[in-house]
Amino acid sequence: MSAQPAIQQVLEQWSKLGVEGHFEGEYPWTQYHKYLVPTLCDLVGAKAEEIVVMNTLTVNLHLLMVSFYRPTSVRFKIIMEGGAFPSDQYAIQSQVTFHGFSPEEAIVEVFPRAGEELLRLEDILLTIEQHSETVALILFGGVNYYTGQFFDLQAITKKGHQVGATVGFDLAHAIGNVPLELHDWNVDFALWCSYKYLNSSPGSLGGVFIHERYANAPHLPRFAGWWGHDEARRFLMEKTFIPMYGAEGWQLSNSPILALAPQKASLALFEAAGMERLRAKSIRLTAYLEYLIHQLNKIYPHFEIITPSQPHERGCQLSVAAKHGGKDLFHYLIKHGVILDWREPNVIRVAPTPMYNTFEEVWQFAQLLKNWTSLVAIPTPVG
């Protein structure tokens, strides 16, 4: 409930100070995005100059590809996970086409083996090796939105660098969900949105990580804007663009403060709770959900969990495939007050979130599953 006062505070500052709110008041707007950075550093494992909050995820993906996808006639391929989030697929296809390549020749997708749902790390690394001379960029999700699989970002980065590629990650489903150490893992760049696990309000701004080694790289190609220009000289309205040190040098515009206020409020909660403690609870919460579904399966073998069973290979989400009537089950659960998500063809995504879900709620959810299985005609129970 801290979002409302945070927005109210901005409205009050606006009504009192008008345009001067950019420079005055408790949280001047020209600096506002910076108040979010310390907590984000903890969440992704980065230094302050490696992070900036700006735009939305897909916009940032395009901006970062301008800098970090620099294909040549020899090295032009992008390796990504098969079944990536559609917006990423569209962005990447359009970038490849923009550079004059065809998506068929330039995009290499890594898929699970026949009959499997998850990607094997060895297959990802082997694919990188197979295209070693021709791969320009490796762009993976951190946690796959559909299966909930948390990839080994450090191993992927290491292999990518070995073959001379740049490595970036889309952390939409990873930030605030799983522990991340982007700086130490040596990741080149990463990006995220804030409206999933970060609870920052619909369409609130995304964030970007750019490794320190690019902090002072004025010659790295980028699409520039006045907010990325040297802050001390920004309002001198000079002709020549001098990028700010670090990720802030990729900013284009003055930030929408009303969208940032609830993100600031949300990050204060993450700061208070601490990612380590959240993760510790998350592992137990999801394991409990998994246990209850396994128990239920002993009576009605109806649910298949496609998310990895190892805690270090997943966040809080379990993707559950229902053998019969998945969509009906989804509607049944919604009707009984569970907030969850349906993905074609038959997957229910359940994400008990350590910030605000309880073990009792997980138990109640399992009771609903149980009630539903006894409501619908299920073929012969086993055992």
Ligand X SMILES: *Cc1c(COP(=O)(O)O)cnc(C)c1O
Interface ranges with ligand X (CB under 6 A)? 56-58, 85, 87-88, 141, 145, 170, 172-173, 193, 206
Give the nearer residue to ligand X in terms of CB position, either 87 or 297: 87
Give the nearer residue to ligand X in terms of CB position, either 136 or 259: 259
Give the nearer residue to ligand X in terms of CB position, either 87 or 186: 87
Say how many Å lie between the first and final Cα of the chain, rounded: 47
Rounded CA-CA distance 18/127 in Å is 55
Rounded CA-CA distance 288/37 in Å is 33
Beta carbon of residue 63, minimum distance to ligand X (angstroms, whole number): 12
Other residues' Cβ atoms within 10 Å of the Cβ of residue 192: 28
* Measured CA distances, 156 to 41, 138, 248, 259 (Å): 21, 8, 26, 34
Rounded CA-CA distance 67/7 in Å is 34
Beta carbon of residue 133, minimum distance to ligand X (angstroms, whole number): 28
Beta carbon of residue 204, minimum distance to ligand X (angstroms, whole number): 9
> Which two three-digit tokens encode residue 305?
């969990």
Give the nearer residue to ligand X in terms of CB position, either 141 or 243: 141
Cβ distance 153 to 169 under 8 Å? Answer: yes
Beta carbon of residue 59, minimum distance to ligand X (angstroms, whole number): 7
Beta carbon of residue 257, minimum distance to ligand X (angstroms, whole number): 18
Give the nearer residue to ligand X in terms of CB position, either 71 or 206: 206
Pairing of strands 166-170, 207-210: unpaired
Beta carbon of residue 331, minimum distance to ligand X (angstroms, whole number): 23
Give the nearer residue to ligand X in terms of CB position, either 193 or 285: 193
Rounded CA-CA distance 38/271 in Å is 9
